[in-house]
């Protein structure tokens, strides 16, 4: 196996590094792991960087250094993976160019605490023990702790489950299919196990253990591939009673909120929404805050919409909603407008973006003196009541998810009133063209697989897409392209997926299983 001189060379070289050099090495390793996510998908770097993290970790001289090693690794991963957030500041004249990078660095400082805690705990668990005699146990413990850290990051303090380990499979429809069983957190757990196979092969002195690890990895990969191929053998089927027209007007972010251009933007959407009667369009879809009129209280705008679309077509769009009495409130909302210009359904965004749509009270005062309160122009939004399913004649029940809401695994549908499809309206114009829009898209596709529901995605500047219940992109419009998608609505899967019925319980069950194996291996 990978033993002997190769192992001695690697470990000897690491032994000669100073603590500061090791921090720099792990910072670089974290940076490299960021390129395993969309749109790059350099998956093999995981099998280099995560083993390196563990090899360096057990060179720590004390608990604080162990925490710092994980923190630097996490900082490199988060800062590089989230660098697209800096673009949001470029479109806001209140901020200079460097402010965005400062904000990304600040966010990365906080997120890296999760990885620092993991490595600190792991070092404590195996302090004083020879890693060569406990390589398998170390890996199992690390995977459990890191996966718990990802789950905590996605659920605590409003949650930010961006770039979870499982999303590195986004290049393969086949390998993503198991998220229908154990969700993205479960896929991330298996991903980390596979990425750490080289660490076990480097450290273990037992040939039988090495062969067992390789055989297990082959079985896991083979099983995932076989399951995925079986699932994808099903063709995409469509409903014949719903035909959608998704409008991507590709309006620049600065132009979008310019009061002088709001009428032109509205007219542009209207023109792009026109259809011939023979096309049979039943629903036209505009993206998040497509126009900045208060459509629920401006009937004249709704009548213009109805006049363009005709009585047999409905509009589904995002818009800003306000209430001025008894006190001013605003919501990032969705509305359905029928062929007579009447409002039929309204949904207010439930899961708001911290610092983008509101500033958490606990941080508002401390950030204000830095000038970093709200990233966006305008008002702070109020929170909607809950995620819910909308019902409307002529349309199967639909769950609405506005932008950021789509990223929360297991939290995208009303379980007491499950929809038959999901609509994600979003405005990714804030996030440039580097990686953010592509990372957002892969999360949308995984939600479709987890829930077994088709998802229609309407993005102001892209990527708009029609996605079937297996996460396959049926039709799409690329980034920064003006156009429309015309497509019938894909059907939902027959029956709910295992994950949609059990959500995080499957993930925690996997971790308990790993913990059981770990205890068993340590006893033998």
DSSP one-letter string for 38-61: TTT--GGGHHHHHHHHHHHHTT-S
Question: Measured in Å, how far apart are the chain's first and last C-alpha atoms?
Answer: 22
**pLDDT above 50: residue 318:** yes
The Cα 304–Cα 288 span in angstroms is 19
321 bridge partner residues:
331
Number of domains in the chain: 2
Q: What is the pLDDT of residues 427-438, one digit of tens each?
A: 998 888 999 999
Do 305 and 436 lie in a common domain? Answer: yes
Do 40 and 76 lie in a common domain? Answer: yes
Q: pLDDT band for 353, please (50, 70, 90 cuts).
A: confident
Are 470 and 437 within 8 A, CB to CB? no
Q: What is the pLDDT of residues 385-403, one digit of tens each?
A: 999 999 998 899 999 999 9
Do 470 and 349 lie in a common domain? Answer: yes
Q: What is the pLDDT of residues 453-486, one digit of tens each?
A: 999 999 999 999 999 999 999 999 999 999 999 9
Give the alpha-carbon dihedral of 504, 509, 510, 514, to 10 degrees: 140
Contacts of 314 (CB under 8 A, 6+ apart): 282, 283, 284, 336, 337, 338, 339, 344, 392, 394, 395
The Cα 490–Cα 240 span in angstroms is 9
Q: How many residues does the chain have?
A: 524
Do 226 and 258 lie in a common domain? Answer: no
**pLDDT above 70: residue 361:** no
Q: Is 403 a catalytic residue?
A: yes
Do 247 and 225 lie in a common domain? Answer: no
The Cα 69–Cα 79 span in angstroms is 16
Nearest to 223 by CA among 194, 252, 247: 194
Do 166 and 246 lie in a common domain? Answer: no
Look at residue 179 and tell me if it is in a domain: yes
What is the pLDDT, as a whole number, of residue 1? 44
The Cα 244–Cα 102 span in angstroms is 41
Q: What is the pLDDT of residues 298-317, one digit of tens each?
A: 999 999 999 999 889 999 99
Q: pLDDT band for 379, please (50, 70, 90 cuts).
A: low
Do 275 and 396 lie in a common domain? Answer: yes
Set 403, 405, 450, 451: catalytic member: 403
Do 102 and 117 lie in a common domain? Answer: yes
Set 268, 349, 357, 451: catalytic member: 349
- More confident of the two residues 184 and 356: 184
Do 222 and 299 lie in a common domain? Answer: no
Write down the mean pLDDT value for the chain. 91
The Cα 512–Cα 524 span in angstroms is 19
- More confident of the two residues 239 and 502: 239
Look at residue 497 and tell me if it is in a domain: no
Q: What is the CATH number of the domain that holds 442?
A: 3.60.110.10
Do 122 and 242 lie in a common domain? Answer: no
Look at residue 458 and tell me if it is in a domain: yes
Q: Give percent of the chain with pLDDT exceeding 70.
A: 93
**pLDDT above 60: residue 366:** no
Query: pTM, whole model, 2 decimals?
Result: 0.94
The Cα 76–Cα 26 span in angstroms is 8
Set 49, 243, 268, 288: catalytic member: 288
Q: Give percent of the chain with pLDDT exceeding 90.
A: 77
What is the pLDDT, as a whole number, of residue 220? 95
Look at residue 495 and tell me if it is in a domain: no
Nearest to 376 by CA among 78, 80, 84, 85: 85
What is the pLDDT, as a whole number, of residue 150? 98
> Would you call the peptide bond into 359 cis, given omega within 30 degrees of 0 as the criterion?
no
**pLDDT above 90: residue 337:** yes
Look at residue 496 and tell me if it is in a domain: no
Look at residue 439 and tell me if it is in a domain: yes
Give the alpha-carbon dihedral of 218, 219, 221, 225, to 10 degrees: 130
Look at residue 428 and tell me if it is in a domain: yes
Q: What is the pLDDT of residues 159-213, one digit of tens each?
A: 999 999 999 999 999 999 999 999 999 999 999 999 999 999 998 867 777 888 9
Q: pLDDT band for 363, please (50, 70, 90 cuts).
A: low
- Domain interval for residue 472: 238-490
Do 337 and 248 lie in a common domain? Answer: yes
Do 517 and 371 lie in a common domain? Answer: no
**pLDDT above 80: residue 66:** yes
Q: Is 450 a catalytic residue?
A: no
Are 415 and 427 within 8 A, CB to CB? no
Residue 28 CA: distances (Å) to CA of 35, 79, 118, 302 = 12, 11, 19, 53
> Phi/psi at 240 (nearest 5 deg)?
-100, 5
Look at residue 341 and tell me if it is in a domain: yes
């Amino acid at each position: 196996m990978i033993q002997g001189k190769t192992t001695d060379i690697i470990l000897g070289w690491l032994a000669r590094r100073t603590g500061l050099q090791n921090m720099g090495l792990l910072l670089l390793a974290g940076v490299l792991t960021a390129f395993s996510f969309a749109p790059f998908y350099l998956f093999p770097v995981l099998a280099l960087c995560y083993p390196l993290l563990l090899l360096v970790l057990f060179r720590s001289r004390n608990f604080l250094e162990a925490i710092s090693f994980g923190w630097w690794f996490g900082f490199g991963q988060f800062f590089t993976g989230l660098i697209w957030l800096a673009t949001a500041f470029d479109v806001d004249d209140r901020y200079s160019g460097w402010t965005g990078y400062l904000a990304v660095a600040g966010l990365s400082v906080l997120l890296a605490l999760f990885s620092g805690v993991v490595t600190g705990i792991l070092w404590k668990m195996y302090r004083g023990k020879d890693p060569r005699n406990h390589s398998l146990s170390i890996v199992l413990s690390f995977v459990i702790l890191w996966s718990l850290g990802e789950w905590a990051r996605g659920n605590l303090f409003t949650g930010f489950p961006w770039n979870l380990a499982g999303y590195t499979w986004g290049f393969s429809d086949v390998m993503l299919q198991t998220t229908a069983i154990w969700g993205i957190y479960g896929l991330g757990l298996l991903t980390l196990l596979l990425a750490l196979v080289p660490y076990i092969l480097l450290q273990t002195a037992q040939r039988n253990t090495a062969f067992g690890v390789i055989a297990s990895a082959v079985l896991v990969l083979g099983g995932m591939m076989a399951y995925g191929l079986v699932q994808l053998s099903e063709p995409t089927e469509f409903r014949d009673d719903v035909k959608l027209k998704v409008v991507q007007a590709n309006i620049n972010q600065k132009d979008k909120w310019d009061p002088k251009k709001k009428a032109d933007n509205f007219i542009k959407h209207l023109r792009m929404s026109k259809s011939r009667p023979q096309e049979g369009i039943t629903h036209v879809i505009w993206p998040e805050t497509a126009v900045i009129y208060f459509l629920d209280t401006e009937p004249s705008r709704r009548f213009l919409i109805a006049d363009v679309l005709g009585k047999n077509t409905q509009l589904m769009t995002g818009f800003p909603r306000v209430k001025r009495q008894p006190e001013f409130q605003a919501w990032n909302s969705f509305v359905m407008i029928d062929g007579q210009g009447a409002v039929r359904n309204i949904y207010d965004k439930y899961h708001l973006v911290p610092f983008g749509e509101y500033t958490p009270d606990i941080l508002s005062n401390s950030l204000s003196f830095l000038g970093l309160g709200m990233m966006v122009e305008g008002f702070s939004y109020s929170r909607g009541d809950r995620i819910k399913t909308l019902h409307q004649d002529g349309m199967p029940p639909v769950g609405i998810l506005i932008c950021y809401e789509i990223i929360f695994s297991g939290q995208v549908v009303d379980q007491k009133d499950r929809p038959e499809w999901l609509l994600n309206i979003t405005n990714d114009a804030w996030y440039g063209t580097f990686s953010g829009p592509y990372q957002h898209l892969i999360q949308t596709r995984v939600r479709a697989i987890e829930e077994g529901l088709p998802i229609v995605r309407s993005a102001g500047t892209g990527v708009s897409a029609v996605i079937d219940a297996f996460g396959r992109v049926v039709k799409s419009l690329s980034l920064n392209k003006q156009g429309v998608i015309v497509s019938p609505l894909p059907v939902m899967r027959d029956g709910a997926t295992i994950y949609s019925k059990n959500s995080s319980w499957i993930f925690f069950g996997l971790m308990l299983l790993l913990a059981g194996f770990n205890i068993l291996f340590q006893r033998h």
